[in-house]
Structure 1
Amino acid sequence: MPVTELVVIFLCLAAGGLLKGATGAGTPVIAVPALAMFFDVKTAVIILLIPNLFTNAWQIWKYRSFLPRRPFVKLFLAGGVIGVAAGTWALAALSAQTLQVGVGVVVLIYIGFRLLHPHWQLGERAGTASAAPAGIIAGVLQGASGISAPVSITYLNAMRLERAVFIPTISTLFLLFVVVQIPALAAAGLLSWKLILISTVAVVPVLSAMPLGTRLARALSPAVFDRIILILLGILAIKLVAAGLV
């Protein structure tokens, strides 16, 4: 592979790490499309396995004292694990395009609602009641299409969690997904030592850029952080709808 292409891949992975350090999510949003230009999408997802494993584990450890002990967290995470198992059924019962367009449209509606009602938030009681369903839907999407962020981020954003609480919560969910994905991919014969080595090397640019993202985010007000999350959701939703329609 030419040096120029390697530099582009390195910079895109670093950009994903920057976003991950700042918001706790978003590495695949930047890295997967970039890697897909040089590999196929399936390979791009596999290359991000080890970076996702390390970055989410690191953020959980770093923000462990902020991880909320409230009931909604356990229900949300438990729903996510159940949903991943159900994702195979969803993939067989519904087309990936239907799932992508449906989720993308719902997220866009949510963004529009939030822009019209900037101070709205999901209350504690409603958030707890909807935690398990939100986790299940996120897990189903992860199992069926490899994409869960539109639902998981939307739910946590609606709870209006502050950044220090948002990051370990979303990172725990993403880590659980990776832990389930790795043996599933291995059982399917999709992992190879070459891809594992490439994925391990990919940890370097992602992890190296995360501290910079963390430092930049410290200067952000809660309102700015909330807008960044909404922008990230908008990008995800547009990508989902476009991919589903195409």
Structure 2
Amino acid sequence: MVKGVTGMGLPTVAMGVLGATMSPLTAAAILIIPSFVTNVWQMLAGRDLLRLLRRLWPMMLCIVIGTLMGTRLLVVVDSVWSGRALGLALIAYAAYALFVPTLSVPERLEPRLSPVVGMVTGLLTGVTGIFTIPAVPYVQSLGLQKDELVEALGLSFTVSTIALAGGFLAQDAFRLDQLGLSLLAVLPALVGMWLGSIVRQKISPKTFRRCFLLFLVILGLELTLRPFS
């Protein structure tokens, strides 16, 4: 539903909720297929995919490299600490979105910034299973039109999902029962997107976004403080 209203947030919210009851590794594995399906849907909805690929390919390449490196940490690190990292990532993203104004990146800086942003995003994706920081604020700072922005985010999320799946396969971290649960999660994810698109027409997106981000802060605090309880 969150993704249907805002265009993003499925893995972010789901990782936070599932991370409260299982390890981030298991949660990320379950979310692979629904994330892939919904992100491909979002990516192919526009008409600028090839142009965006030509512009953002250094970032996409580094997302893949960073994710493959970070996935190794998610597999070997104790689930308590990976859960804590997930909580911190949720809080950081929500705090940025709530309090930091949208930045503007000059086009001349993109060749240098895109690989760095891609690598950091990939590492955090591999470690936490979510792929919003710093990719989302960076893409939002590129001055894209509304439809281009949604398509560019879909491209980034799709690449991250594929890289995360590749990392899990390389680390032999997929189990058949997780793939079955991941397939089962596709239908409710699509139904949620449809319901979210209806909700988007009924309420203020600004109000919904604020409530969504505050919810992420609460989830992040719960995951971050759990090791000390």
One fold, TM greater than 0.5? Answer: yes
Question: Structure 1: 5+ residue runs without aligned partners?
Answer: 1-17
Question: Is the Cα contact below 8 Å between 1:59 and 1:167 reproduced in 2?
Answer: yes
Question: How many Å separate the matches in 1 of 2:108 and 2:124?
Answer: 25
* Equivalence for 1:34: 17
- Tell me what 1:3 maps to: none
CA distance in 1, matches of 2:159, 2:8: 14
Distance 2:214 2:62 in 1: 24
Aligned partner of 1:140 in structure 2 is 123
Measured after TM superposition, the shift of residue 164 of structure 1 is 1.6
**After superposition, what is the alpha-carbon deviation per residue over 1:20-64, rounded to whole angstroms, capped at 9, x for unaligned?**
22333101233233334554433222211110111111222222x
Instruction: Work out which of the residue numbers 38, 48, 63 in structure 2 matches 1:66.
Output: 48
Q: Give TM-score scaled by structure 2 length.
A: 0.73
> Is 1:130 matched with 2:117?
no
Q: Which runs of 5+ in 2 are unaligned?
A: none
Q: Matched residue pairs, number?
A: 220
Q: SS in structure 2 opposite 1:191? A: coil
Matches for 1:132-171 after TM superposition, within 5 Å: 132-171=115-154
Pairing of 1:41-80 with structure 2 (within 5 A): 41-63=24-46, 65-67=47-49, 69=51, 71-80=54-63
What aligned pairs does 1:210-229 form with structure 2 within 5 A after superposition? Answer: 210-214=193-197, 216-217=199-200
Aligned-residue offset at 1:202: 0.8
Going from structure 1 to structure 2, the CA distance change for 1:147 and 1:187 (only over 3 Å counts) comes to: same
Q: Percent identity?
A: 23
In 1: Cα distance, 2:172 partner to 2:69 partner: 21
TM-score normalised by L of structure 1:
0.69
User: What is the aligned-residue RMSD (CA, Å)?
Assistant: 3.7
Asked whether the equivalents of residues 107 and 151 of structure 1 are also in contact (C-alpha less than 8 Å), the reply is: no
| Deviation for aligned residue 1:87 | 2.3
